[in-house]
Structure 1
Amino acid sequence: MIRYTIARFFSLIISLIVASLVIFSVIEVIPGDPASFMLGINAREDTLAALRSEMGLDQPLTLRYFDWVIGMFQGDFGNSWTYKTPVSELIADRIWVSLPLAIYALILSTLIAFPAGIVAASRRGGASDVTIMGATQMGVAIPNFWFAMIMVLIFAINLRWFSAGGFPGWSNPLQGLKSLTLPAISLALPQAAILARIMRSSLLDILLEDFIRTARAKGLTRSQALWRHAVRNALIPVLTIIGLQFSFLLAGGIIIEQIFFLPGLGRLIFQAISARDLIVVESVVMLLVFTVIMVNFAVDITYAIVDPRLRKKS
């Protein structure tokens, strides 16, 4: 188990190094000069040079990369050129919208998908299975922003149960949670459809294994074999999907945050790209990549806990 964890940790470090190089390189090759964009096309050369020096754009690429990486290790993400504010403060303000939204959506997705996948697998070929698989097919095919607009139309405009957008903050937790409900459902439904199909497929494969037939031969009912043995073993591939879904929900909610006017990280990235605020884009994207890699690392460790075969190999 220790060797397995150490190997995964070294893989995590290498992934972070490669990710930082890729993110920095991609941002640097984007056409256009941020200083010219900020000052306009009629700005004087000496003014542009002064701004480039202030922004550190006149430094060699290698030096800028290492300054950026070392700064992040120290908790210094640099200063936003647009907001004139430390990027860490912008992230701290926005993360308390994006992180609860991602967790909320993941909980909803799991609560919908697990029962749906288990029921579909346990009643394979029946009416319940056909109905659930039909619903999940629609969930996979329909994009989440379409769900978002339908949610706004039904629950915000017609029924007026929720607001159409905005975030009041966490001074009133119930109001804050209520404002995230429609965005969370919009994000959760497509992910729940995917997770339910994976759960069903994994469970059906496990139900055909020899140890399930042995358990049935020893006197366990189909339901007992399902819950005592099949479900736990079927969770192994499902954990991967849950980890990837959380990463997607945290990093991929840009469109949903735009639709509901949520001041989260996704909207911050969108605004920073529009304003050519490259230090914000680099730092926020790197933070999201770090989160994705850490989630995958946690999933790998959870594998070893759930599946004893990995502990024996390590």
Structure 2
Amino acid sequence: MSVYLARRFVSLTLSLIVASFVVFFLLEIVPGDPASFMLGLNATPEAAANLRQALGLEGPPIERYFVWVLGLLQGEFGISYAYKVPVADLVADRLWVSLPLAIYALTLSTLIAFPVGIIAAAKRNSPADLGIMGATQLGVAVPNFWFAMLLVLFFAVTLRWFSAGGFPGWDEGFWISMKALTLPAIALALPQASILARVMRSSLLDTLSEDYVRSARAKGLSRRQALWRHALRNALIPVLTIIGLQFSFLLAGAIIIENVFFLPGLGRLVFQAITSRDLIVVKSVVMILVFAVILVTFIVDITYAIADPRLRRAR
């Protein structure tokens, strides 16, 4: 187990190093000068040069790369060009919106998908299975931003149960803040739940056709007993993979939903930073999201080893 985890840790660390290199140098070749953008069209070359020096944009790229990485390791993300505040403060404020939203949406998605996928697998080719597969196909096909607008029209405009957007802040109370995140979480969760339910059904059906499950059935276990005692745990490996990918997507890819509901999250921060050429914010936020993806991948790998003892014994 320790050897397996050590190898995964080394692999993920190398992935993080490569990702930092790619993120930095891709943004280096993006056309446009942040200093000129900030000063406007009438800026003199001398003023632009002075601002570039103040922002730390002068010097060889490889030197600035190592300065940037060292700052990341020390928790120093630099100063935002546009907001004139430390990037760490911006990220901290926005993370307390995006992270609870991602966890909320992933929890809803899992709670919906697991029983739905198990029921569909247990009642294969029945009307319930066909109805579930049809509903999940619709959930995959419908864009989440369109579904978000339907939720706003029905629950916010017509019924007035929720607000149409905005975030009051955690200082206003936990339940008030969670209520503000409910519609965005549902809009994010339902398409992901459709994908996860289909993967759960497919994985369970594949596992139920394995020899050891047929042997268990031959010894007298019913289909339901074989599913719960033997098939379910072994079917979790691809499901855990999808859950890990979904959390990464929900944390990093909720830009459209955050803009629909006017949520001050990381996705909206990146969008605003790109439009204002605030590259230090873009680089820092993207690296934080990359780190979150790699950390989730590492946690999923640990879960693999717990769910499948063969991985713990593998050399």
Same fold (TM over 0.5): yes
Q: Hey, what's the Cα distance between the residues in 2 that align with 1:123 and 1:304? A: 30
Question: Is residue 226 of structure 1 aligned with residue 227 of structure 2?
Answer: yes
Question: Is residue 200 of structure 1 aligned with residue 204 of structure 2?
Answer: no
Query: Which residue in the other structure is 1:12 paired with?
Result: 12
Question: Is residue 173 of structure 1 aligned with residue 174 of structure 2?
Answer: yes
Question: Is residue 134 of structure 1 aligned with residue 130 of structure 2?
Answer: no
Query: Which residue in the other structure is 2:301 paired with?
Result: 300
- TM-superposed CA distance for 1:237, in Å, is 0.8
Q: Hey, what's the Cα distance between the residues in 1 that align with 2:252 and 2:189? A: 14
- TM-superposed CA distance for 1:229, in Å, is 1.0
- Residues 77-122 of structure 1 show CA distances to partners (whole Å, capped at 9, x for unaligned) of 1111111111111111110000000000000000110011000000
- TM-superposed CA distance for 1:219, in Å, is 2.0
Q: Hey, what's the Cα distance between the residues in 2 that align with 1:215 and 1:239? A: 25
Runs of at least 5 residues in structure 2 that lack an aligned partner in the other structure: none
Q: Hey, what's the Cα distance between the residues in 2 that align with 1:235 and 1:147? A: 29
Q: How many residue pairs align between the two structures?
A: 314
- 1:113-132 mapped onto 2 (5 Å cutoff): 113-132=113-132
- TM-superposed CA distance for 1:74, in Å, is 0.4
Query: Which residue in the other structure is 1:289 paired with?
Result: 290
Q: Hey, what's the Cα distance between the residues in 1 that align with 2:25 and 2:149? A: 36
Q: Hey, what's the Cα distance between the residues in 2 that align with 1:248 and 1:176? A: 22
- TM-superposed CA distance for 1:218, in Å, is 2.0
Question: Is residue 311 of structure 1 aligned with residue 312 of structure 2?
Answer: yes
Q: Hey, what's the Cα distance between the residues in 2 that align with 1:189 and 1:20? A: 33
- Residues 122-179 of structure 1 show CA distances to partners (whole Å, capped at 9, x for unaligned) of 0000001000000010111111111111111111111111100000011211110000
Q: Which structure 1 residue ranges, 4+ long, deviate > 2 Å from structure 2?
A: none
Query: Which residue in the other structure is 2:29 paired with?
Result: 29
- 1:2-151 mapped onto 2 (5 Å cutoff): 2-151=2-151
What is the DSSP-based 3-state SS (H/G/I as helix, E as strand, rest coil) of the residue aligned with 1:101? Answer: helix
Task: Tell me the amino acid that sits aligned with residue 283 of structure 1.
Answer: S
Query: Which residue in the other structure is 1:266 paired with?
Result: 267
Q: Alpha carbon RMSD of aligned pairs, Å?
A: 0.8
Q: Hey, what's the Cα distance between the residues in 1 that align with 2:312 and 2:63? A: 42
Runs of at least 5 residues in structure 1 that lack an aligned partner in the other structure: none
Q: Hey, what's the Cα distance between the residues in 1 that align with 2:58 and 2:7? A: 39
Query: Which residue in the other structure is 2:253 paired with?
Result: 252
- 1:155-170 mapped onto 2 (5 Å cutoff): 155-170=155-170
Q: Hey, what's the Cα distance between the residues in 2 that align with 1:188 and 1:59? A: 45
- Residues 24-51 of structure 1 show CA distances to partners (whole Å, capped at 9, x for unaligned) of 1111111100000000111111111110
Q: Hey, what's the Cα distance between the residues in 2 that align with 1:161 and 1:93? A: 27
Return 98-107 or 56-65, whichever deviates more: 56-65
- TM-superposed CA distance for 1:3, in Å, is 1.2
- Residues 275-302 of structure 1 show CA distances to partners (whole Å, capped at 9, x for unaligned) of 1000000000000000001101111111
Task: Tell me the amino acid that sits aligned with residue 257 of structure 2.
Answer: I
Q: Hey, what's the Cα distance between the residues in 1 that align with 2:46 and 2:24? A: 27
What is the DSSP-based 3-state SS (H/G/I as helix, E as strand, rest coil) of the residue aligned with 1:54? Answer: helix
Q: Hey, what's the Cα distance between the residues in 2 that align with 1:147 and 1:70? A: 43
Q: Hey, what's the Cα distance between the residues in 2 that align with 1:138 and 1:19? A: 35
Task: Tell me the amino acid that sits aligned with residue 277 of structure 1.
Answer: D
Q: TM-score, normalised by structure 2?
A: 0.98
Q: Hey, what's the Cα distance between the residues in 2 that align with 1:162 and 1:260? A: 11
Q: Hey, what's the Cα distance between the residues in 1 that align with 2:26 and 2:164? A: 36
Q: Hey, what's the Cα distance between the residues in 2 that align with 1:146 and 1:88? A: 33
What is the DSSP-based 3-state SS (H/G/I as helix, E as strand, rest coil) of the residue aligned with 1:124? Answer: coil
